[in-house]
């Protein structure tokens, strides 16, 4: 293929993708540090982990090699909705495993701080001796992110699985989802996970899935906000509605009745072309929502409820 032909093909792909900016994305990767076209349809866009202003186009489950495209001036690529959006400022790839630790790690004669696994408001300073100092974040910056206290809950170090040296080669449970488990191949936060069959939960004692084991997700880890600002598994704790993503306008939201309290619920869709506004908790036209919008795939058998 000549360079001119390749350039023409790329231009045509960009035009097709641009005209389909509001179509449903089928991509399944939500890791900002991974370049992946897994689950993506042909001609879908995926982010460039090296530069949040760039993106790739997917063909046959693979990004077109060596051809990252750049968003227009004044825009950056939103990796959760797979589009360029207004605003030049954006955060690059930050791997949680690089900053979150649940045990002291030696750095010369010093030790790094580490987050409490089930409490995002505190962290521990590890001295070179045996003394441990526990610090509580202040109210104005209540969430510890692995380096310090800040205001973004999605950057919390709490409720992540963590592989210690004793866990290598074994399966460990996911504190935010009792149906999942992780394979420990390296120290730190594991990337690989498995899901138990329907009706079963993971037993951390036996290292196996079992229908006899009740869900033991700590209350502090329910409804964990992922780094993309979304809650993928929602347990009702009170009557009302909750945004599936706190910084995006999606068609889906969570709806809890009195009978749903304590149970996991599936997301409900807004009617028609409306999207859910995380600020006022209402379904609104796309143009009335202050966050980037995306049309998520929906279960067509799901009943729609008005907010």
pTM reported for the whole predicted model: 0.56
Do residues 45 and 83 lie in contact, with contact meaning Cβ atoms separated by under 8 Å? yes
Chunked into runs of 10 residues, the chain (307 residues) has average pLDDT values of 50 45 61 76 87 88 82 86 83 65 65 76 78 87 88 80 87 87 87 86 91 84 78 88 88 93 89 91 89 48 35
Kindly provide the b/e burial profile for residues 248-282, where b requires at least 16 CB atoms within 10 angstroms of the residue's own CB.
bbbbbbbbbeeebeeebbebbbbeeebbbbbeeeb
The pair of three-digit structure tokens given for residue 192, joined into one six-digit string: 């690989």
- Confidence at residue 71, expressed as pLDDT on a 0 to 100 scale: 92
Give me the residue spans of the domains in the chain: 27-93, 96-155, 165-219, 228-294
Q: Tell which CATH architecture fits domain 27-93.
A: Beta Complex (2.170)
If we measure between CA atoms, which residue out of 298, 294, 306 comes closest to residue 249? 294
Instruction: Compute φ and ψ for 2, nearest 5 degrees.
Output: -75, 165
User: Which 3 state secondary structure label does DSSP give 3?
Assistant: helix
């Amino acid at each position: 293929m000549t360079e001119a032909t390749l350039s023409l093909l790329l231009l045509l792909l960009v035009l097709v993708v641009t005209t389909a900016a509001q179509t449903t994305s089928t991509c399944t990767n939500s890791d900002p540090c991974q370049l992946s076209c897994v689950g993506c349809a042909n001609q879908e866009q995926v982010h460039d982990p090296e530069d949040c202003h760039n993106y790739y186009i997917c063909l046959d489950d693979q990004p077109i090699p060596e051809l990252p495209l750049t968003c227009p001036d004044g825009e950056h690529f939103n990796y959760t909705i797979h589009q360029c959006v207004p605003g030049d400022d954006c955060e690059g790839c930050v791997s949680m495993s690089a900053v979150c630790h649940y045990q002291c790690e030696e750095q010369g004669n010093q030790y790094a701080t580490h987050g409490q696994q089930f409490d995002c408001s505190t962290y521990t300073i590890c001295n070179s001796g045996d003394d441990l100092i526990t610090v509580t974040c202040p109210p104005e910056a209540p969430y510890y992110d692995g380096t310090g206290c800040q205001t973004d809950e999605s950057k919390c170090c709490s409720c992540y699985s963590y592989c210690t040296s004793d866990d290598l080669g074994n399966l460990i449970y996911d504190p935010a989802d009792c149906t999942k488990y992780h394979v420990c191949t390296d120290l730190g936060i594991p990337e690989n996970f498995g899901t138990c069959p329907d009706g079963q939960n993971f037993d951390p004692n036996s290292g196996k899935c079992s229908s006899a084991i009740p869900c033991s997700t700590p209350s502090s880890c329910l409804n964990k906000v992922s780094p993309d600002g979304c809650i993928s598994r929602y347990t009702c704790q009170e009557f009302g509605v909750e945004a599936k993503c706190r910084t995006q306008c999606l068609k889906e939201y969570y709806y809890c009745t009195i009978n749903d309290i304590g149970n996991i619920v599936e997301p409900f869709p807004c009617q028609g072309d409306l999207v859910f506004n995380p600020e006022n908790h209402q379904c609104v036209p796309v143009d009335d929502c202050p966050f980037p919008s995306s049309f998520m795939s929906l279960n067509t058998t799901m009943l729609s409820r008005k907010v």
